[in-house]
Structure 1
């Protein structure tokens, strides 16, 4: 058994670039679907669109925007006891004792936690496109892992 770790430091990382991109895309989607919904009522095609169709078009744009915003949801939060990985839909917490390594393989889009039995968990919050931010995140996670598993 290892001695309890007294480090109370908590680190949290979220992707930077993808959050900006998803926000812009969400705004564009809502704007485009709103314009289409407004213009839908005045078409020379002979098709009759009602107000409910226009509202449905705007609602569809909002739903698609919410789906795009999910891509900016990933987060990783770590402390002395373990690491919580929240990706697009799921969130899991792992004890540092269950994690073999924090790695960022060459050519990978995001970091990952190496687990026993050749399993791994993608850490989508630490993305290669964030460059220095990703390097700092991996270093901080590795430091916490090293401190928790030392001894």
Structure 2
């Protein structure tokens, strides 16, 4: 059995922000030729303005990237800058420290990996994702969790 979790509220907010940015820069680009500021705008200026909107919208959507995927073999954590797979034998604990914005995988030697896909702001969705992640880890034959 697999578990896949993604943040919910951040995905919604990022989508809304991306649409607003794209719409605002597209409207600004289309209206550039009609302004009476004394500046001379060309088609390339309009396209550049729309391009900036596309670039900023893509940047906003970048925050929808986090995901955690777990199965009996291990857990793959994809955060903003990359993805890594950890076999369950390397994961000492799946925790959600008090006051932390997201969960984390506790690794040997006091190291940890943030799991940005499971965020405190998501409330019950985060609780369910943590339960499922811990269940899969338990079924994989790893020691019990505390925390």
- Cα deviations across residues 24-48 of structure 1 (Å, max 9, x unaligned)? 1110000000111112112222211
1:82 to 66, 74, 85: 74
3-state DSSP of counterpart to 1:92: strand
For the residue of structure 1 that corresponds to 2:34, the secondary structure is: coil
Paired position in structure 2 for 1:96: 88
Deviation at 1:150, TM superposition (A): 4.6
Q: Per-residue CA shift, 1:77-119, capped at 9, x if unaligned?
A: 0001100001112000000000000000111111000001111
Question: 1:1-151, aligned counterparts within 5 Å?
Answer: 9-148=1-140, 149-150=142-143
The two structures have a TM-score, normalised by structure 2, of: 0.93
Alpha-carbon distance between aligned partners in 1 of 2:6 and 2:81, rounded to the nearest angstrom? 15
Q: Specify every segment of 5 or more residues in structure 1 that has no aligned partner in the other structure, as ranges.
A: 1-8
5+ residue gaps, structure 2:
none
* Separation (CA, whole Å) in 2 of partners of 1:125 and 1:80: 19
What's the Cα RMSD here? 1.3
Find the counterpart in structure 2 of residue 4 from structure 1: none
Matched length: 143
